[in-house]
Structure 1
C-alpha cells in the first residue's frame, strides 16, 4: 500500500480541512460534501483524513466490525460473547461510481439458500465501512439505485439485504464523504440533504501559495516515505487533538442562547425540515470541543451555519449554493443578547479564534509557516458561476440583408416582432435577454424500450423496476425469479434423487428476473438565435421554455446538449453533459441576430449525435428544435433544411419542434420541419401554457398511418382558423405524429 499524502501537508483549503476534522471529532455531524473544480486536492484531503482517525476496537473474527463492549445482537457473524477486542486502524472504503448493488450491500448465495436453507452472505462495502469512512468520488455521477441504498443505510444506520424471503441485516454506521465537480451535474436533493456539511473549494490565485503546492507535491512524488516522515510530528499532534476533542465532546454545553441562535438562523434562511438545526447544533458543539472549550459561543454557531446551510438553501438546480453573511450576522446579533455566554465576547472577528484559525479555536491544523499563508484569508470562496467565466460569443458582422426586416418577403413578421432598427454592417448583436420564469412541464419521452443508463424519462430494461419476465442469468445472478426457478427445477426432482422436503436446485435451474423501469436520455436542444427570433419578448419566452425543459431534464437524470445557430454558422454551445446548470448558464448568455442557417444547425446537431452515439451507444437521444421554421442564406435554404431534417428521420431519432412563430399571420414552416424530422410540432403558446412536454408523451419516430390520420384531422382543424395559410398548414400537419399527454 502506498504512503498517503499527509493531511497536515495540505496547503490552504482551511474550510475543507476544518469540515473533515469536525467529522472526525463527531461522526454524528453527518459527513462532508466537497464541491469544486478539478485539481483542488479534494480526493487527497479525504484519503489523508483516515490516518488521523483513532483506532477501532472490534470483536476478533467479526467481518462486520462489531465493538466488543456492545456487539450487534443481529450481527450475521454473531452472537458474540463479551471479551477483549482487537484494535485496527479505521478504514476508508471507496465506493466506485460504477459499482454494482451486490458490491455495495453484499450478496447472498441464492443457490445455497434455496437448496440448503443457509444464509451464505458475503459482506459488501457498507459492512467494510462500518465505524469508518465511506468515500464516494464523483458522487454526483452515482447511479440512482446506489443512491437509494446509501440513503436507506445513512438514515437507519443498518443495511438490509432481502432476497425472496431470505434476509440479512447488519449495522452500517459510517462517515459519508463525497467529492464532486459541479460542472458534471448536480446531486439529487435527497442525497444532498444527507451530507451534514458542504465545502466549496477552488484553486488559490496567489502565486506564492501555488508555488508551495507544486513544491510539496513534487517532493512527495519523489520520495513519499521521506516526505511523510517530515510531517509525522504534525500528524501525531493533530491525531492527539482529535482524540482529546472526542473525549471533551460529551462535556460541551449547548446553552439555550446558542440553540435559539441556531433555530433563528435556520428560520431566517428558510431551510426545509429540521435536519439543518440538528446538524448545526452538532457542528457547533464539535467546534467548541475542537477549540478545547466546554461552552458553545456565537462564533461556533456562525461557523456551523457557513458549513451546514449553503447546500440546503437550493430551491432548484440552477441556484448556486451560498449564504448571505451580512444577513447571518444580523440574525446572530438579534438573537444573541439573551445569553451573554454565547456572544462573541471581545473578538471583533467572528471568523477568527484565539489562534487566528478559521475554526474559532485555533482550528488550523499544525503546519510549518510557509508561502501558503500570504493572501489566505481562511475562507474558501466558491468558484465563479459559469456565466461569469464565459465570454460573450464572438460578434458577427452582418450586412443589411441579415436584419430581421430584410428577411425573405415570403416570411412577414408582425410589427411587434421587429427590432427597432435594422442591423448595420459591423453593428453588434442584440444583447442577451434574460429567460422567463420556468414552469412545471409534463413527460417528454422517447418511444420504444431502451437499455440506457438508469433515469426517469423513457421506458427501458433495467435492473430495477417491475418484473416482466425471466431468463437464464448472464454471469452473476442478481435478481432471482423464484417462480421461474422452481418451475425449471421441479421436473427433475425424481431424477436428482430428492428424498425430503427440500428442493434440489442446480445452477441451470436459476432464472434471472427481467425488469422494466426508466432510463435517462440525451436531450439535445437546437435553438434558433437568428434575427427573426430576436424580439425581446419572444426570446424571453423561448428561453423560459427551454429552461423549464432543462429543469425537467435535471429531475429525470438526463444528459443535455445545446446547439445554437445564427448568422452564418452553428455552434455547439454545450457538448452533451450531465451538468444541466451549465446548460442554463449558456442559455442566459446566448446572443441573437443575423440570418437563419437552419440547415447548418440541423447538420451540426446530427454530427453531435453521431459522435455521442460512439461514446454512449445505449443512451437514446431526443432532439428539441426551437425555431420559427424560417431559413435564410444560401440557395434554397428551406430545401436544404428539409434534406438535413430527413437525416434525423432516416435514423429514427425522436424529435419535437417548438414553433416560435407569432403574430396574426403564420406560415406553418415549423410544422413542415416537424414532418421532415418525423416528429411533432407544438406552438410557443402551448409551450408557455405549461403544455409542451404535457402534449408529448411518446414522440413517434416513424410516419404511422394512424398518427398521420389523427394529427392530420386535428392539424387541419386548428390551422384552418389561422387564415389564408390553412390548406398549407393542414398538409404539413399530416406529416406529424401522435401526440399524447401525461402529468409528470
Structure 2
C-alpha cells in the first residue's frame, strides 16, 4: 500500500480541510461534496483524511464491521456473542463511476440459492464502507441506478439486497465524500441534498503559494515515506485534536440564540425542508468542539452556513451554488441573542470586495455582467440585411418542453430520454447469461430446467438446476443521448429581435437535457463559417453560458453548420459508440452563405438522413408571410419540424410520434 500524502502538508484549501475535519469530528454532519476544477488536490485531501481517523473496534471475523459494543442484530454474519473486539484502521472505500450494482451492494449466488436453498452472500462496497468513508470521485458522472442505491443507504443506514425472494440486509452507515468538476455536469438534486457540506475549491493565484505546492509535491514524489516522516508530528497533532474534539462534542451547548440564528438563516435563503437546519446545527456544534469550546458562537453559525447552505439555496436553472454573505451577516445580526458574546461582530462587511463584489451567479438568469451585455437593439435597430453583427441578447425565461426522443431501442448510458436495453427497468424477456448472472429470470429458468428433472434423478422437492438452465432477464429502461444543438446565429435570426426567444427555447431544451442526463454539444453558424462553440460534454451549464454570450450577424452558411455538426457526430461516435445522437437544428431555414447555398445545404442534410440520425428542426420563422424553409430542411434531414410555439409542453402533442412516423416511412 502506497504512503498517502500527509493531510497537514496540503497547502491552502482551508475550507476543504475544515469541512473534512468537521466530518471526522462529527460524522453526523453528513459528508462533504467538493466542487472544483481539476488539479486542485480534491482527491489528495480526501485520501489523506482517512489516515487521520481514529481506529474502529469491530467484531472479529465479521465481514460487516459490527461494533462489539452494539452489534447489528440483523447482521448476515451474526448473531454475535459478547466478546472482546479488535481494532483496525478506519477504511476509505472508493466507488468507481463505472461500478455495477452488484459491486456496490453485494451479490447472491443465485445458482446455490435455487439448487441448495443457501444464502451465499458476497458483501459489496457499502458493507466495506460501514463505519468508514465512502469516496466517489467524479460523483456527478455516477449512473442513476447507483445514485438511487446510495440515496437509499444514506437515508436508512442500511443496504438491502433482493434477488427473486431471497433477501439480505446489513448496516451501512458511512461518511459520504464526493468530488466533482462542474464543467463535466451537475449533480442530481436528490443526491446533492444528501451531502452535509459543500466546498468550492480553485487553484491559488498567489505565486508564492503555487511554488510551495510544487515544491512539496515534487518532494513527496521523490520519497513518499521520507516526506510523510517529516510531517508525522503535525499529523499526530491533528489526529489527537480530532480525538479531543470527539470527546468534547457531547458537552457542547447549542443555545436558543444560536438555534434561532440557524432557523432564521435557513428561512432567509429559502432552503427546502428541514435538513439544512439540522446539518447547520451539527456543523456549528462540531466547529465549537474543534475550537475547544463548549458553547456555540455566532461565528460558528456563520461558518456553518457558508458550508451547509450554498448547494441547498433555491436558485434559477444553471446558476452556480453560492451564498450572499452580506445577506447572511444581516440575518445573523438581526437575530443575535443575549447568549452570544460578540461572535456577530466577526464578519467584516467592509472587507475585500465590499458591496461591489460580483454576484456568484453566472448562469443565464444571473445578475452579473449587465454592463457587458447590452440588450437587443441597444445602439440601433438590427439591420434587416443581416450584414452587421449584433450584440449578444439575453434569453427569455425557460419553459417546460415536450420530450424529444430518438426512435428505436438503444444500449447507451443510463438516462431518461430514449428507450434502451438496460440493467434496470421493466422486464421484457429472457436470454442465456453472457458472463456473470446479475438479473435472474425465474420463470424462464424454471421452464428451462423442468423438462430435465427425471433425467437428472430428482428425488426430493428441490429443483435440480444447472448452469445451462439459468436465464438472464432482459430489461428495458431509458438512456441518455447526445443532444447536438446546431444554432443559426446569422443576421436573419437577429431581425425583429427573434434571438431572445430563440435562446429561451434552446435554454429550455438544455434544461430538459440536464434533467434527462444527456450529453450536449453546441455548433453555431454565421457569416461565412461554422464553429463548435462547445464540444460534446455532460456540462449543460457550460452550454448555457456559451449560448448567453452568442452574438449574431452576417449571412447564413447553413451547409457549413450542418457539415460541422456531421463531423462532430463522426468523432463522437468513435469515442462513445453506444450513445445515440439527437440533432436539434434551430433556424429559420434560410441559406445565403457560399456558392449555391440552398443546394449545398440540401446535400449536407441528406448525409444525416442516409445515416438515420434522429433530428428535429426548430422553425424560428415568424411574421404573417412564411416561406416554410425549415419544413423543407426537416424533410431533407429525414426528421420533423416544430415551431417555437409548438415546442412548449402543452402545445406539441404527438411530436415524438411524428419523428418516429418519419423514421418508419
TM-score (norm 1): 0.84
Structure-2 separation of matches of 1:541 and 1:181: 31
Could you report, residue by residue, the CA deviation over 1:227-263 in whole angstroms, capped at 9, with x for unpaired residues?
Answer: 0001000000000000010011111111111111111
Instruction: Quote how far apart the aligned CAs of 1:692 are.
Output: 5.6
Aligned to 2:87: 87
The question of whether the paired residues in 1 share the 8 Å contact of 2:106 and 2:161 is answered with yes
The question of whether the paired residues in 2 share the 8 Å contact of 1:574 and 1:586 is answered with yes
1:572 aligns with 2:570: no
Q: Residues 622 and 148 from structure 1, CA distance in 2 versus in 1: closer, same or farther, beyond 3 angstroms?
A: same
- Structural RMSD (CA): 2.2
The question of whether the paired residues in 1 share the 8 Å contact of 2:320 and 2:360 is answered with no
Gaps of 5+ in 2: 353-357, 370-379
Q: Residues 591 and 325 from structure 1, CA distance in 2 versus in 1: closer, same or farther, beyond 3 angstroms?
A: same
3-state SS, counterpart of residue 34 of structure 1: strand
Aligned to 2:504: 544
Instruction: Quote how far apart the aligned CAs of 1:688 are.
Output: 5.8
3-state SS, counterpart of residue 341 of structure 1: coil
Aligned to 1:651: 611
Q: 2:342 aligns with which of 341, 344, 350?
A: 344
Aligned residue pairs total: 647
Aligned to 1:152: 152
Instruction: Quote how far apart the aligned CAs of 1:313 are.
Output: 1.5
Could you report, residue by residue, the CA deviation over 1:160-194 in whole angstroms, capped at 9, with x for unpaired residues?
Answer: 00001100000000000000000000000000000
The question of whether the paired residues in 1 share the 8 Å contact of 2:54 and 2:243 is answered with yes
Aligned to 1:495: 455
Give the number of the structure whose alpha-carbon radius of gyration is greater: 1
Could you report, residue by residue, the CA deviation over 1:329-379 in whole angstroms, capped at 9, with x for unpaired residues?
Answer: 11111111xx3223435x843489xxxxxxxxxxxxxxxxxxxxxx9xxxx
1:331 aligns with 2:331: yes
3-state SS, counterpart of residue 96 of structure 1: coil
Aligned to 2:382: 419
Structure-2 separation of matches of 1:153 and 1:678: 46
Aligned to 2:443: 483
1:139 aligns with 2:139: yes
Instruction: Quote how far apart the aligned CAs of 1:633 are.
Output: 2.5
Structure-2 separation of matches of 1:106 and 1:292: 41
Query: Which aligned runs of 4 or more in structure 1 are off by greater than 4 angstroms?
Result: 381-388, 420-424, 701-705
3-state SS, counterpart of residue 547 of structure 1: helix
Q: 2:434 aligns with which of 474, 483, 489?
A: 474
Higher mean C-alpha deviation, range 690-699 or range 67-76: 690-699
3-state SS, counterpart of residue 639 of structure 1: helix
Pairing of 1:116-195 with structure 2 (within 5 A):
116-195=116-195
Structure-2 separation of matches of 1:162 and 1:292: 46
Structure-1 separation of matches of 2:492 and 2:58: 72
Aligned to 2:377: none
Structure-2 separation of matches of 1:329 and 1:657: 49
The question of whether the paired residues in 2 share the 8 Å contact of 1:200 and 1:383 is answered with no
Instruction: Quote how far apart the aligned CAs of 1:422 are.
Output: 5.8
The question of whether the paired residues in 2 share the 8 Å contact of 1:489 and 1:504 is answered with yes
The question of whether the paired residues in 1 share the 8 Å contact of 2:192 and 2:311 is answered with yes
Instruction: Quote how far apart the aligned CAs of 1:498 are.
Output: 1.2
Aligned to 1:40: 40
Pairing of 1:226-375 with structure 2 (within 5 A):
226-336=226-336, 339-345=337-343, 348-350=345-347
The question of whether the paired residues in 2 share the 8 Å contact of 1:201 and 1:382 is answered with no
The question of whether the paired residues in 2 share the 8 Å contact of 1:202 and 1:382 is answered with no
Aligned to 1:366: none
The question of whether the paired residues in 2 share the 8 Å contact of 1:446 and 1:698 is answered with no
Aligned to 2:373: none
Aligned to 2:372: none
Instruction: Quote how far apart the aligned CAs of 1:701 are.
Output: 7.8
Aligned to 2:595: 635
Pairing of 1:574-589 with structure 2 (within 5 A):
574-589=534-549
Structure-1 separation of matches of 2:663 and 2:335: 67
TM-score (norm 2): 0.94
Instruction: Quote how far apart the aligned CAs of 1:497 are.
Output: 1.4
Gaps of 5+ in 1: 353-374, 376-380, 392-416, 706-744
Structure-2 separation of matches of 1:330 and 1:221: 47
The question of whether the paired residues in 2 share the 8 Å contact of 1:465 and 1:516 is answered with yes
Pairing of 1:435-454 with structure 2 (within 5 A):
435-454=395-414
The question of whether the paired residues in 2 share the 8 Å contact of 1:624 and 1:655 is answered with yes
Instruction: Quote how far apart the aligned CAs of 1:445 are.
Output: 0.6
Could you report, residue by residue, the CA deviation over 1:381-417 in whole angstroms, capped at 9, with x for unpaired residues?
Answer: 99995899xx9xxxxxxxxxxxxxxxxxxxxxxxxx9
Could you report, residue by residue, the CA deviation over 1:294-321 in whole angstroms, capped at 9, with x for unpaired residues?
Answer: 1111111100000000001243540110
Q: Residues 351 and 69 from structure 1, CA distance in 2 versus in 1: closer, same or farther, beyond 3 angstroms?
A: farther
3-state SS, counterpart of residue 421 of structure 2: strand
The question of whether the paired residues in 1 share the 8 Å contact of 2:32 and 2:199 is answered with yes
Instruction: Quote how far apart the aligned CAs of 1:685 are.
Output: 2.9
Instruction: Quote how far apart the aligned CAs of 1:492 are.
Output: 1.1
